[in-house]
Amino acid sequence: MDMPTFDELKDLAQRDPAGFEVLRAEAIEDCIRRSSECNQRRLRGLQFVIEARRRVAGSPMKALLDIQAMMYESLLGLQQALLDQQRPCAPRGQASARVLHLKPPRPSVD
């Protein structure tokens, strides 16, 4: 799918909001369809979350800020996962155990 320029998209959104939404949905679907099969389910789930956030946001600006925050949280999670892989495994907390003092066995008298 050939994408229109930014200015063409802006004009379409102002002139024909419903047409813009159709084009937007088609572009998203095309992008998901072109991705590997193992990623398609995850991408559809992510798109579902994005659409839900857009619906409940109340305004385009609020939707933008909500989705931006979602992306930022995801980026921070990825950064933390990468940092965790770079650190050597820290020893776990001090293990505690009860030490039993065993007496040597008594020689048997036969």
Query: Which residue has tokens 């789930």?
Result: 45
In this predicted structure, what is the pLDDT of residue 90?
A: 59
**Residue 96's pLDDT band (cuts 50, 70, 90):** confident
Question: Which DSSP state fits 83?
Answer: H
What digits encode the pLDDT tens for the residues 45-90? 999 999 999 999 999 999 999 999 999 999 999 999 999 888 766 5
Mean pLDDT across 38-42:
94
**Residue 91's pLDDT band (cuts 50, 70, 90):** low
For the chain, the straight-line distance linking the first and the last C-alpha, in angstroms and rounded, comes to 96
Give the C-alpha separation, 67 to 49, whole Å.
9
- Entry pTM: 0.66
